[in-house]
Amino acid sequence: MGKAKYSAAGLFIRGARKKTWPRVWRDVEPKKSYDVVIVGGGIHGLATAYYLASNHGITNVAVVDKAYLGSGGSGRNTAIVRSNYLTPEGVAFYDRSLDLYNTMSTDLNLNVMFSERGHMTLAHTDSALRTMNWRAEVNKLQGIDSSVISPEEVKKEAPSLDISTDTRYPILGALYHPPGGTIRHDAVVWAYARAADSLGVDMIQKCEVLDITCEGGEAAEGKGAGGKVTGVKTSLGDISTPVVVNCTAGWATTISDMAGVKLPITTHPLQAAVTEPVKSFLPTVVVSGSLHVYVSQTDRGELVFGASVDPVATYDMRGTLAFTEELAGHVLELMPAISKMRLMRQWAGLCDMTPDYSPVMGHTQVGGYLVDVGWGTYGFKAGPVSGEQMAAAIATESMPELIAPFALSRFTEGTLVGEKGAAAVGH
């Protein structure tokens, strides 16, 4: 396997000799059995596979995806990362993820274009400002660079924002988080896939999981509580495995039903849109919870907008006019100067929402069936740390401290991790 290292010199030499680039990962047929089968070839699934191989030496691993790698939430999110959450559990977790993103380009030898441009969450009401202060204090206690700034300082960071006081939603201040920024999400998928492939992990695309076979459980066909996973049935044949990890978003419930594990999840689409490219004018990521919008400018000059999830639970990913209208109104409220910019396209991704806006991770009541689901609207920024911790959970057969608060059992024990105040819209 051993791959050529990517470098500027290599790029130059290949360019000069007009050589084509080799395949980045192998195209393989599934084997009859694996130690671990990961369902879902997005950032979470690929990161889990990579850390299983690199940190724990478990390389007999398959990642299966019904479409292509990064075709789900990994390629549909708005690529924003930050760690200024509200609960100590959330802050510690997302900060570890930001650490891993920081060194990813060198660790995985692929430029993921991390742009640490700063992240501002605007406050338009006194109560929002109070929550910002609360978050800033929680963040500072955990050693995270996060503070509340005045409208004048907001204007200094992003001059295109309207800070006048006679608007419907005046900007009263903002939670400013300098380590936040954007990353090229496709590059993260490719980096993990390439690194996992060179360690011997099989990535099988266009392979849909049709059923998870279990034995010994209390429900029909040996599924459900007390059972044990024996394998998966896929569109490319049966695979026997003692461990199945559900790393899907959108279809987390349908996969989990195959093992007889009920989840606290409803699936909602989240719509996003991108404008035509213009010259660079927005240096930071700007988020407004009250206006349900977040915006950043890409390296190409396009503005990327995201919103909150649609209120009605559905698996349908068609865009709606209502979203575009609402988005345009809200964005112009913040930046009246861009009224002549045109939207190029819009799309939607599926978000698995949990009641407390925290994910569901780790072991379940079915032996060998693990979940890394319920990632709502915050899955991208948590990809690396989720992979690292899920790999540890699989290898050690226990729950690592960092993800123990997010176990599925918290819903039957009543120990929820309420993260709505920092995760509902803010990105």
Site residues (vs another protein, CB under 8 A): 251, 253-254, 262-267, 311-316, 318, 320-322, 355, 411-412, 414
Q: What is the CA radius of gyration of the chain?
A: 22
Token output for 320: 């709606």
Measured from the CB of residue 205, what is the shortest distance to another protein in angstroms? 21
CB of 316 to another protein, least distance (A): 6
Smallest gap from Cβ 321 to another protein, in A, equals 7
Nearer to another protein by Cβ, of 151 and 362: the residue is 362
Sheet of 237-240: strands edge to edge? Answer: 209-215, 228-234, 237-240
- Rounded Cα gap, residues 373 and 279, in angstroms: 38
Tokens at 415, concatenated: 């120990």
CB of 227 to another protein, least distance (A): 18
Smallest separation (angstroms) from another protein to the CB of 253: 4
Block residue for tokens 């689409």 = 269
Closest distance to another protein from the beta carbon of 118 (Å): 35
> Which phi-psi region, left, alpha or beta, contains residue 334 (left: φ > 0; alpha: ψ -120 to 50)?
alpha
Which residue, 169 or 411, is less far from another protein as judged by CB?
411
Structure tokens that stand for 382 in this block: 């948590």
CA angle (331, 291, 158) in 5-degree steps: 55
User: How many CA atoms, within 13 angstroms, populate the side-chain half-sphere of residue 104?
Assistant: 33
Other beta carbons less than 10 A from residue 182's beta carbon: 22
Nearer to another protein, 179 or 269 (CB): 269
Residue nearer to another protein on the CB measure, 227 or 250: 250
Nearer to another protein, 174 or 366 (CB): 366
Residue 246, helix vs strand vs coil: strand
Task: Choose between 134 and 411: whose C-beta lies nearer to another protein.
Answer: 411
